[in-house]
Chains A and B, each alone.
Chain A
Amino acid sequence: MIETRGLRKSFRSRAGKETKTVDAVRGVNLEVAEGEIFGFLGPNGAGKTTTLRMLATLIEPDGGEATIAGADLRKDPAGVRRRIGYVPQGGSTWDDSTAREELVLQARLYGIGKADAERRATRALDAFQLTEYADRKCKTYSGGQRRRVEIALGIIHEPKIVFLDEPTTGLDPQSRAHMWDEIRRLRAEGMTVFITTHYLDEADALCDRIAIMDNGEVVAEGTPADLKREISGDVVLVGLDLSATPQAAELLDTEEYVNKLETADGGGLRLFVDDGATAIPQILRRLDHAGLDLRSIELHRPSLDDVFLTKTGRSLRES
């Protein structure tokens, strides 16, 4: 449904007198299948929005190619526009307009006739449970209501693919859950959904497949389950005081059952081991032997954050 090869984009920005170049996206190759929810997971500044804006024909790539629902991004941007919907990160509704007005206008900008546009607006308001507020100004909506209007705007012309840039950022937990349901509904209606997020749980729970992006590059791609499975074994979190952490790290790093070891910022260690159940007693014994004070120990299955950590050396929670 979407295929990109070597998509690149740099920005020149001026800070005082110096101009510096930011390589926002450095060669992204992706394949998104029809009817899936594909997630772009990465910290702020990773280049997610820039990639989406290129795919939505809003900015021209510096290099690379993409085919979107059969249309070539460079040769046929108008064709791409007809086939896709795009919901920008920072909102897309006007304070003094009503949801219905916005929906009708957007449909008509896509070349849909007046009567049909009004029908679609009514249907969309109904589907997104907005009928009650349809004729109130957008500035009176809650964050979640407004976000739903914006998604309705993005799909009013029934595109094959919709790009949602951080659809749940800034929403309270209940609105987020509601939004997830809406996004799943789009998939059920046969749409391909491409979302970006910096929430691990969202990528895990909502997306069929994800690409992890960092610093303008895709560092891993696959289903959340596959990505986690790639990190063989278990993760053991060892709670330690900051002062005891370096010594413990030195001790445990040489143990042969520890595949990889990361130090947490506030003290404590994160150990990647093949089998947590047998590793824990050995870790306890080793630290006790050295007289180091252990605060807590915890065993868990690898999370997407562990995937991010092994690929980039940083935790997504911290960045």
Chain B
Amino acid sequence: MKFAHDTWLIFRRQTQLLLRNPVWIFVGVFQPVMYLLLFAPLLKPALNAPTQAAAYKIFVPGLLVLLAIFGGLFQGFGLIAELRAGIIERSRVTPVSRLALLLGRSLRDVVSLLVQAVIITLLALLFDLRIFIGYLLLAYLMLALIALMTSAVSYGVALKVKSEDALAPLMNTVAQPVLLLSGILLPLTFAPGWLQGVAKWNPFSWAVDGVRALFAGDLSNAKVWQGLGIIAVLAVAGVVWAARQFARSVR
């Protein structure tokens, strides 16, 4: 099928170029590991958790969702560089599927996020975190959908604004409230009522609650399915919108 084939071509190219850049790999792996090793030990007393493993069950899901959001949102910068180099123009004169131009890139971002997630999970296992593999895979599905959505949106916005100078403040303005109003780093259990009320409108808050429930082994928690549903719908919407930006005139 042409569309799948086109997506694969773009995905493979983008992945090759990524692997060619050792700095990126170092940062992508090193940074989350630092969080895990240096930040997490502060958590047990701060969260009043009975054990280190219990603290990790709360912190690791937040860290993973955080990586998924930010990893995705900042992919637009790479696209602007490609735009400037004429790569997008060159692709758009071929009959290649416009959706594939987007999806090949976004899937690369999803895969690299999942690699980070696996590394973090493995490390956390060393610190006595335990999670059922089926639940872990569901959590990864949620992360993949988040990364798909944020990277697609980032690419779409990059095609619209066409300059790093405009993209950077825009992404920061979006990311900051999303981060603060979601309970990603610390759960909102102890937050004042109004903050919890605001967080209800933040899809990432649902996502992180869902992932925490999965890490806690609580599949019956409604947040799991609600979170997955909300993020899936948003991811599809983001992909459709961004693919239309690839089809429209860009320069």
Contacts and interface: CB of A to CB of B under 8 A. Distances in A.
B89 A88 contact: yes
A309 to B, nearest CB: 32
B198 interface: no
A92 interface: yes
Contact of A57 (B16, B21, B91, B93): B93
A7 to B, nearest CB: 15
Contacts of B95: 78, 81-82, 109-111
A53 B93 CA distance: 9
Contact of B85 (A57, A84, A91, A110): A91
Interface in A40-89: 53, 56-60, 78, 81-82, 84-86, 88
Interface residues of A, number: 30
Interface stretch (A94-102, A195-203, A214-222, A267-275): A94-102
Given A58-B249, A59-B249, A96-B21, A91 B93 contact: no
A105 B9 contact: yes
Contacts of B20: 96
Contacts of B86: 88, 90-93
A106 interface: yes
Given A90-B86, A91-B86, A109-B6, A97 B93 contact: no
Interface in B1-40: 2, 6, 9, 13, 16-17, 20-21
Interface residues of B, number: 23
A28 B9 CA distance: 37
A81 B97 CA distance: 12
A60 B249 contact: yes
> Which of B84, B85, B90, B96 has the largest number of chain A CB atoms within 10 A?
B90
A59 B251 CA distance: 9
B170 interface: no
Nearest to B8: A108
Nearest to B9: A108
Nearest to A89: B86
Contact of B89 (A82, A92, A95, A157): A92
A60 B92 CA distance: 13
The B interface, classified by DSSP as helix, strand, loop or mixed, is helix
B24 to A, nearest CB: 11
Interface in B78-111: 82, 84-87, 89-96
A25 interface: no
Contacts of B92: 58
A88 B91 CA distance: 11
A210 interface: no
A111 B93 contact: no
Nearest to B93: A86
A153 interface: yes
A56 B86 CA distance: 14
Given A96-B21, A110-B95, A111-B2, A105 B249 contact: no
B85 A109 contact: no
Contact of B94 (A90, A96, A101, A110): A110
> Which of A56, A85, A109 has the largest number of chain B CB atoms within 10 A?
A109
Contacts of B85: 91-95
A90 B88 CA distance: 12
Contact of B93 (A56, A105, A108): A56
A81 B21 contact: no
Nearest to B95: A81
B86 to A, nearest CB: 4
A96 B13 CA distance: 11
Interface of B: 2, 6, 9, 13, 16-17, 20-21, 82, 84-87, 89-96, 249, 251
Interface of A: 53, 56-60, 78, 81-82, 84-86, 88, 90-97, 101, 105-106, 108-111, 153, 157
8 contacts: A53-B251, A58-B92, A58-B93, A86-B93, A90-B84, A92-B86, A92-B87, A93-B86
Shortest 8 CB-CB contacts between residues of A and residues of B: A92-B86, A92-B90, A59-B249, A109-B94, A86-B93, A109-B96, A88-B86, A91-B86
